[in-house]
Amino acid sequence: MNSRILYCAVFASLVVLANFLCTVEVVESRKHLNRLPRLNIAKQSFGVSGLSAGAFMAVQFQVAFSKSICGAGVIAGGPFFCSFGNVLIALNQCMRMPEMIDLSLINDIVEGMKLDNLIDDTSNLRNHRMYLFSGLEDVMVVQGVMKKLHQQLTQYFNMSNIVADWNVPAEHAMITNDYGNVCNYLGEPWINNCGLDSAGKVLNVVMGATLKNGSSYVDDNLYTFSQTGNYSALSFDDKGYVYIPTACHGGRVQCAAHLVFHGCNQGARYIGETFVIHSGYLKHAEANNIIMLFPQVKKEGIIEPNPQGCFDWFAYTGLDFATKKGVQMRAIANMMTDLGVQIY
User: Which phi and psi angles does 75 have, rounded to 5°?
Assistant: -115, 110
Indicate the domain borders of the chain. Answer: 28-339
| Overall pTM > 0.85 | yes
Is 160 assigned a catalytic role? no
Percentages (nearest 5) of helix, strand, coil residues in the chain:
35, 20, 50
* Residue 172 among the catalytic residues: yes
Confidence at residue 1, expressed as pLDDT on a 0 to 100 scale? 34
- pLDDT for 18: 32
Catalytic site residue from 13, 45, 49, 52: 52
Catalytic position from the list 172, 258, 262, 284: 172
Q: How far is CA 76 from CA 142, 146, 164, 168, 269, in A?
A: 8, 7, 12, 12, 22
Q: What is the DSSP string of 206-259?
A: HHTSPPPPP----GGGEEEEE--GGG--TTB-SEEEEE--GGGGGG-S-EEEEE
In degrees, rounded to 5, the angle at the alpha carbon of residue 149 between the alpha carbons of residues 78 and 50 is: 45
Q: Which of 138, 197, 198, 284 is catalytic?
A: 138
Chain-centroid distance of CA 264 in Å reads 11
Cβ atoms of 65 and 323 closer than 8 Å: no
Catalytic residue status for 215: no
CA 159 centroid distance within chain: 21
3-state secondary structure of 175: strand
- pLDDT, one tens digit for every residue, the chain (344 residues): 344 333 343 333 333 333 333 334 555 579 999 999 999 999 999 999 999 999 999 999 999 999 999 999 999 999 999 999 999 999 999 999 999 999 999 999 999 999 999 999 999 999 999 999 999 999 999 999 999 999 999 999 999 999 999 999 999 999 999 999 999 999 999 999 999 999 999 999 999 989 998 899 999 999 999 999 999 999 999 999 999 999 999 998 999 999 999 999 999 999 999 999 999 999 999 999 999 999 999 999 998 999 999 999 999 999 999 999 999 999 999 999 999 999 99
pLDDT digit string (tens) for 17-46?
333 333 345 555 799 999 999 999 999 999
